[in-house]
Amino acid sequence: MEINTNGIWKNFRTLFKSGLVGALILLLLIPTAFIQNLVSERQDRERQAVAEIGSRWAGSQTVTGPVIGVPYYDSVPGAGGYTRTKRWAYFLPDKLDIHSNIVPEKRYRGIYEVIVYTTQLDIRGRFDGLRLEELGLARDGMLWKEATVFFDISDIQGLNEDVVMHIGAPGAPGGGARLPLASGLKSTEQFGNALTADLPDLGTWAGAGANAGGSANAGGSGNAGGTGIAAGSPLEFAMTVRMKGSGDLLFVPVGKETNVSDTSSWPNPSFTGSALPDVRTVQNKGFVADWHVIALHRKFPQQWKQNTYELAASGFGVDLIVPVDAYQQTTRSVKYAILVILLTFTAFLLIEWIYNLPMQALQYVLVGFALCIFYTLLLSLSEYLGFNAAYGLAAVATIGLIGWYVGSILRSRKIAVFIVFLLAVQYGFIFILIQLQDYALLMGSIGLFVTLAIVMQASRKIKWQTA
């Protein structure tokens, strides 16, 4: 019985070559993993640059308030009987209107661009009353002379000038009291480092007797201590805050009804937080956004005692972002590296088998390294040119290098042109996938199916020898 040893050896050689190429593809996952780590490292450096500028300029800002706090004594049972402990009750405004005009600025730390801002907040609102009975508190038991207004911003370094709150009768600030707010004067469990001002005449407005805290004085005009805080009338307030920050500008909806309006010349806002704007207009010249939030939408009550709440968790607002993050897009492109290597090596194997043009393992390795270096070129160029331009330049350089190399080792211009075309299609298709985002999975699945069909069709031309 005669055995066709040449055919058997060819079949085993084909199997061996396929296994070797598969092993090379798996080994090339190692440098792609290093490239992924390099992208993460550069992204961390960008975050450090943003944090460094934020520490010197001002960080993200969250605005909370104004909130009225009134202390009282509570009897707490203990081992030796009852102990009097001072606690705080907090009361939120019934109406809060904020208008913010945000002016963006660009700052640079090395090659990194950071967006910072200055803003002027025009804040108005009113307190309709303090419903002490709902908290089980007696008016005569409150320490009215220690009543305080709290106004909190997350990074006090961002204040450009002193903050003054006008509070008093309808028509304030003209007829009300002028209250300069300062930091470090009072600290409670709820407000650790807020701006504060004393409200010693609040007892009269709240309807407390003259003995409440020992400081209420109705006077002859119906005003508490002559400050313009009229008893029985809504307690209105107004203030202007000029500050700076970077990243987010968020507002906590402390009002029973909170209305916020943001305007800016920055064309790329990202609306964030617990509520999206009810109305927004985003154009190349800037944006306008309006929010209307009621008390039912938040996770803390209109007034409370003893407890503390994470007020900032209910904040909402806007983040001034750089529109294209090259690092995120580069990360996504690296994830497709295995696909590019697999398709390219599959094409080389088909060329070997169809045209009987063998390639050495070293040549596969060099081509694989060229495919990996594409991503380091993309990363480094994108930091200066942006992602789109960097992708185009890196793709042209890589395709040109591989096309020249394949043409020289196989001595076939036709095959070199085919490889150039194949790589151009692959890089173009991946670029489209990165831009699509929402449809990337669908388009990627269709693309893989079509590619598999083409490979199956090409494999039909291979003339297999059998024993």
pLDDT per position as a tens digit, 209-265:
434 444 333 333 333 344 455 556 789 999 999 999 998 999 999 999 999 999 999
Question: For 65-78, what is each residue's pLDDT tens digit?
Answer: 899 999 999 877 76
Cβ-Cβ contacts under 8 Å for 345 (sequence gap 6 or more): 21, 24, 25, 364, 367, 368
pTM (two decimals): 0.74
Sort 344 into a burial class: Cβ within 10 Å, 0-12 / 13-18 / 19+.
buried
Q: What is the pLDDT of residue 39?
A: 87
In three-state secondary structure terms, 166 is strand
**Do 252 and 311 contact (CB within 8 A), yes or no?**
yes
Q: Quick one: pLDDT at residue 169?
A: 54
Check whether 187 has a pLDDT greater than 80: yes
pLDDT over threshold 70, residue 9: no
Q: What is the pLDDT of residue 172?
A: 43
Q: What residue segments make up the domains of the chain, in order of their start?
A: 5-44+327-459, 60-323
d(CA 240, CA 256): 21
Evaluate if residue 6 carries a pLDDT over 80. no
Residue 41: is it exposed, middle or buried by C-beta count within 10 angstroms (0-12/13-18/19+)? exposed
Q: In this model, does residue 170 exceed pLDDT 50?
A: no
CA angle 62, 306, 166 (to 5 degrees): 50
Q: How many CB atoms lie within 10 A of CB 170?
A: 12
| pLDDT for res 12 | 58
pLDDT computed for residue 11 by the predictor: 56
According to the model, what pLDDT value does residue 146 have? 93
Residue in 449, 450, 431 with CA at minimum distance from that of residue 440: 431
Nearest to 374 by CA among 431, 415, 418: 431
Residue 180 and residue 173: Cα distance in Å, rounded?
13
- CA distance linking residue 367 with residue 344, whole number of Å: 9
Pick the more confident residue, 442 or 38: 38
Confidence of residue 465 (pLDDT cuts 50, 70, 90): low
pLDDT at residue 17 above 90?
no
Q: Decide the pairing of beta strands 61-78 and 81-91.
A: antiparallel
Among 60, 90, 61, 65, which Cα is nearest to 253's? 65
Tell me the C-alpha distance between 92 and 87, whole Å: 17
298 with 253: CB under 8 angstroms?
yes
Predicted confidence (pLDDT) per residue in 80-101, tens digit: 667 788 899 999 999 999 999 9
Share of the chain above pLDDT 90, in %: 42
- pLDDT at residue 466 is higher than 60: no
* Contact between residue 285 and residue 337 where contact means Cβ atoms under 8 Å apart: no
* More confident call, 40 vs 439: 40
Please give the pLDDT value at position 55: 79
